[in-house]
Amino acid sequence: MKGIARGNKGEFRPGVVAYLSGLGIEPYYARDGLTLYRGEELDLLPHLPADSIDALITDPPYCSGATSSAGRAADPVAKYCQGGNALGRPTFGGDHLDQRSFRYWCTLWIRLALRATKQGGYGMVFSDWRQLPAMTDALQAGGFMWRGIVPWDKGRRSRAPHTGYFRHQAEYISWGTKGPCLKALGRGPFDGVISAQINYRDKLHITGKSVEAMQHLVRAVPPGGMIVDPFAGSSTTLLAAAIEGRQCIGIEREESYCEISAKRLDDYFSRGDGVAKTLAA
């Protein structure tokens, strides 16, 4: 898997990235502990060295957004941007599986990520309310010890189909560990509910997550630790890792989103002071 390496070439490369380079797998973007590969997660994850990663933190395609199979197979822009895609973000693929196939597919890549995760490392995977049961099954079938669900409360701007509804105001992070859950030295316990509104100026993906919500998650990893996000999208996880002083490897198959990511991360580094500040301890 060859990419066009963007960012600061020739600088310090984390061990995992140097190892992949030795296999001829070059990043699309690499800078200051952040590395993005363009490709498919099932192709790349098997090449990560075993026991090399502190956490899997990811937001896969939800394959959700409708009650009928025809609705689920619709373009993600139609499913997830019901208020319109005014910002013109690109669409993406891989969002069409029915729930049985979704559970099976998630189990495959979670298993591969588990192999790359250190003993005691975290698995944290986003889903919506429809796919939450499938995701907790897949997290366990993939080999993580399921330990809980962290709701991410996005606030009252979230959509409700009509006034009779409870708002679809939360998404859910199913989390677990590879074997024992180790004590975090000088950190934690971590908040079990995350409240963070989406900043629409900084939402560069049609299903982009809040940088602040991701900052909460990456802080479970030791400072300087390594995260993998196999569905990087616009690289919100990588940005949060940079802000919080962690390293992150992202994988993204759409070139449009690799480009958006490269620009977003370069913008962050060139601003110097950072858009978002590190969260208070």
Ligand X SMILES: C[S@@+](CC[C@H](N)C(=O)[O-])C[C@H]1O[C@@H](n2cnc3c(N)ncnc32)[C@H](O)[C@@H]1O
Selected range binding ligand X among 149-157, 170-178, 191-199, 202-210, rule: CB under 6 A: 202-210
Task: Sheet containing 247-252: give its strands across.
Answer: 6-7, 29-31, 34-38, 247-252, 226-229, 53-58, 117-127, 170-177, 145-153, 194-195
Inter-CA distances, 254 with 22, 73, 113, Å: 24, 18, 20
Q: Closer CB to ligand X, residue 92 or residue 268?
A: 92
Answer for which of 48, 125, 138, 251 binds ligand X (CB under 6 A) is 251
By CB under 6 A, tell whether 231 contacts ligand X.
yes
Beta-carbon contacts of 75 under 8 Å, excluding residues fewer than 6 positions away, are: 91
Answer for which of 19, 21, 32, 40 binds ligand X (CB under 6 A) is 40
**Residue whose CB is nearest to ligand X in the complex, by number:** 233
Whether the CB-CB separation of 96 and 72 falls below 8 Å is answered with yes
Helix boundaries (H) for the chain: 15-22, 41-44, 69-72, 76-80, 99-116, 132-141, 211-218, 236-243, 255-271
Buried b (16+ CB within 10 A) or exposed e, 230-239: bbbbbbbbbb
By CB under 6 A, tell whether 41 contacts ligand X.
yes
Shortest gap between Cβ of 104 and ligand X (angstroms)?
14
By CB under 6 A, tell whether 38 contacts ligand X.
no
CA distance 275 to 266: 12
By CB under 6 A, tell whether 92 contacts ligand X.
yes
Shortest gap between Cβ of 126 and ligand X (angstroms)?
7
By CB under 6 A, tell whether 253 contacts ligand X.
yes
Q: Which string of x and - marks every residue 56-75 that binds ligand X (by CB under 6 A)?
A: ---xxx--------------
By CB under 6 A, tell whether 208 contacts ligand X.
yes
Answer for which of 207, 225, 244, 264 binds ligand X (CB under 6 A) is 207
The CA-to-CA distance between both ends of the chain, in Å, stands at: 39
By CB under 6 A, tell whether 7 contacts ligand X.
no
Amino acid letter for position 237: T
Q: By the criterion CB under 6 A, which residues form the site for ligand X?
A: 40-41, 59-61, 92-94, 205, 207-209, 230-231, 233-234, 236, 251-254, 257
